Chain A
Amino acid sequence: MNNYSYIALIPLLPLATFLVLGLFGRKYFKTFSGTIGTASLLASTVLSLYTAYNYFFIDGKVNGVFQKIIALKYTWLQFSPSVSIDMGIILDPISVMMIVVVTFVSLMVHVFSLGYMKGEERFATYYAFLSLFTFSMLGLVLSSNIFQIYMFWELVGVSSFLLIGYYFEKPSAVAAAKKAFIVTRFADLGFLIGILILAFYSGTLDFGVLIERLTSTQSSQYISITSASFLGASMLTWGLTLVFIGGAGKSAMFPLHIWLPDAMEGPTPVSALIHAATMVVAGVYLVARLFPVFSIDVTALQIVTYVGAFSALLAAIIACTQTDIKRVLAYSTMSQIGYMMFALGVSKYGGENGLGYMASMFHLFTHAFFKSLLFLGAGAVIHLVHSNEMKDMGGLRKLMPITHITFLIACLAIAGIPPFAGFFSKEEILLAAYHSNYFVYGIAVFTSGLTAFYMFRLYYSIFWSREADVHDAHHGEGTFSMKLPLIILGVCALVAGFVPIASLITSDGAALETHVDIKFSALPVILAVLGIAMATFLYKTKSDRASNVAEGFGGLYTAAYKKFYIDEIYLFITKKIIFNLIGRPAAWIDKNIVDGFMNLLATTTGKISELIKGFQSGKVQNYTLYFFGGILGLAVLFIYLWK
Chain B
Amino acid sequence: MNEISITQILFVSTALFFIGMYGLFTRRNMITMLMAIELILNSVNINFVAFNKYLYPGKLDGVFFTIFVITIAAAEAAVAIAIIINLYRSHHSIDVDDASELKY
Contacts and interface: CB of A to CB of B under 8 A. Distances in A.
A621 B104 contact: no
B25 A618 contact: no
Interface string B74-104: 0000000000000000000000110111111
Nearest to B104: A613
Contacts of B25: 621, 624-625
Contacts, number: 27
Interface string B22-33: 001100100000
Interface string A117-144: 0000000000000000000000000000
Interface in A604-619: 613-614, 616-619
A613 B21 CA distance: 26
A617 B100 contact: yes
Contacts of B102: 618
Range, interface on chain A? 10 to 19
B21 A616 contact: no
Contact of B97 (A614, A619, A624): A619
Q: Is the interface of A mostly helix, strand, loop or mixed?
A: helix
Range, interface on chain B? 10 to 19
Interface string A599-643: 000000000000001101111110011001000000000000000
Nearest to B21: A628
Contacts of A621: 24-25, 28, 96
A278 B53 CA distance: 100
Nearest to A624: B24
A621 to B, nearest CB: 6
A214 B102 CA distance: 75
Contact of B103 (A617, A625, A628): A617
Contacts of A620: 96, 99-100
A170 B78 CA distance: 71
A621 B101 CA distance: 14
Nearest to B28: A621
A619 B33 CA distance: 13
A324 to B, nearest CB: 65
Q: Is the interface of B mostly helix, strand, loop or mixed?
A: loop
B21 A618 contact: no
Nearest to A613: B104
Contacts of B96: 619-621
Contacts of B99: 620
Contacts of B21: 628
A618 B101 contact: yes
Contacts of A613: 104
B9 to A, nearest CB: 21
A443 B25 CA distance: 101
Nearest to B100: A618
Contacts of A624: 24-25
Interface string B4-28: 0000000000000000010011001
Contacts of A628: 21
A618 B104 CA distance: 8
B79 to A, nearest CB: 15
A325 to B, nearest CB: 69
B66 to A, nearest CB: 21
A619 B21 CA distance: 16
A619 B100 contact: yes
Scoring B21, B96, B101, B103 by chain A CB atoms within 10 A of each residue's CB, the highest score goes to B103
Interface in A527-560: none
Scoring B21, B25, B101 by chain A CB atoms within 10 A of each residue's CB, the highest score goes to B25
A619 B24 CA distance: 13
B19 to A, nearest CB: 15
A150 to B, nearest CB: 56
B103 A616 contact: yes
Contacts of A616: 103-104
Contacts of B97: 619
Nearest to B27: A621
A103 B103 CA distance: 69
A619 B101 CA distance: 9
Scoring A614, A617, A618, A628 by chain B CB atoms within 10 A of each residue's CB, the highest score goes to A618
A614 B99 CA distance: 16
B20 to A, nearest CB: 11
Scoring A620, A625, A628 by chain B CB atoms within 10 A of each residue's CB, the highest score goes to A620
A618 to B, nearest CB: 3
Nearest to A628: B21
Contacts of B104: 613-614, 616-618
Nearest to B30: A620
B24 A618 contact: no
Nearest to A609: B104
A165 B100 CA distance: 58
B21 to A, nearest CB: 7
A614 B104 CA distance: 7
Given A619-B97, A620-B100, 18 more contacts: A613-B104, A614-B104, A616-B103, A616-B104, A617-B100, A617-B103, A618-B100, A618-B103, A618-B104, A619-B103, A620-B96, A621-B24, A621-B25, A621-B96, A624-B24, A624-B25, A625-B25, A628-B21
Interface of A: 613-614, 616-621, 624-625, 628
5 contacts: A617-B103, A618-B100, A618-B102, A619-B103, A621-B24
Interface of B: 21, 24-25, 28, 96-97, 99-104
The 9 closest A-B pairs by CB, nearest first: A618-B103, A618-B100, A613-B104, A620-B96, A616-B104, A618-B102, A619-B100, A616-B103, A617-B103
